[in-house]
Amino acid sequence: MFKILIAEDEEPISNLIRINLTRAGYSCVCALDGETAADLMASERFDLILLDIMLPGINGYELMEYARDLEMPVIFLTALSSTENKVKGLRMGADDYLPKPFEIVELLARVEAVLRRYNKVEKIMEVFDITIDSASRTVMQNGQQVALTMKEFDLLLLFVRNRNIALYRDTIYENVWGGEYLGQSRTVDLHVQRLKKKLHWEDHIVAVYKVGYRLQ
């Protein structure tokens, strides 16, 4: 299980991030100020740090230099969304920069992307009665391989990595098909129905009224 430090001084935001990352299978530790974050970085090894810039005590830029010396990946999470601040953060060595406010599904995608860059993504995932091998792109259910198309497999990964999160149809479409969602298209609905049928997951992947779908 990968370990993530959340250095964020707004407790409601910190808790929201922690809850969703924990649901996605990560181990999380929270720090509400820069000094606590620095102490944790000195005493524990983290696979990734989510770092707010405007932290009390020691700010995010100062912590970024410390994280760089410790060779810990960093994603900046900040309300400072100007190009100047973004460029400064990236030039200091941050792996990504996500302005507030952001959607949890986007944060999870960026966390996964950075961890993958450092070869730290779980290659084998077990959910309910299936085992997913993301490296070979295979799915096993009760000892039998389930034949999924490329898009069905990508759709399954999206649901698994965002478990218990209601995903909008446009979010699903953008992440799986990589384009802009046209509201009249039934592509998402048809693929979700096919995936549910193949996995016998009618009770696990549920429709969310006026939103889209959720894996629960």
Asked whether residue 141 falls in the same domain as residue 156, the answer is yes
Owning domain of residue 136: 124-215
Asked whether residue 101 falls in the same domain as residue 64, the answer is yes
3-state DSSP: the chain helix, strand, coil percent, rounded to 5? Answer: 40, 20, 35
**Confidence band, pLDDT 50/70/90 cuts, at residue 179:** confident
Its pTM surpasses 0.95:
no
Other CB atoms within a 10 A radius of the CB of residue 71 amount to 9
Asked whether residue 13 falls in the same domain as residue 73, the answer is yes
Task: From 69, 98, 117, give the residue that closes a domain.
Answer: 117
For β-strands 74-78 and 27-31, DSSP reports them as unpaired
pLDDT digits (tens, 9 = 90+) for 63-121: 998 898 888 999 999 887 777 777 887 888 889 989 888 888 889 889 988 988 887 76
**CA–CA dist 108, 111 (Å, integer):** 5
**CA–CA dist 21, 100 (Å, integer):** 17
Taking each helix axis from N to C end, the angle separating 83-91 and 60-69, rounded to the nearest 10 degrees, works out to 20
Asked whether residue 110 falls in the same domain as residue 38, the answer is yes
Asked whether residue 129 falls in the same domain as residue 76, the answer is no
Task: From 61, 86, 117, give the residue that closes a domain.
Answer: 117
Long-range contacts of 82-85 (CB under 8 A, 24+ apart): 85/53
DSSP assignment letter at 99? E
Tell me the CATH number at 13: 3.40.50.2300
**CA–CA dist 159, 172 (Å, integer):** 9
Tell me the CATH number at 144: 1.10.10.10
Number of structural domains, the chain?
Answer: 2
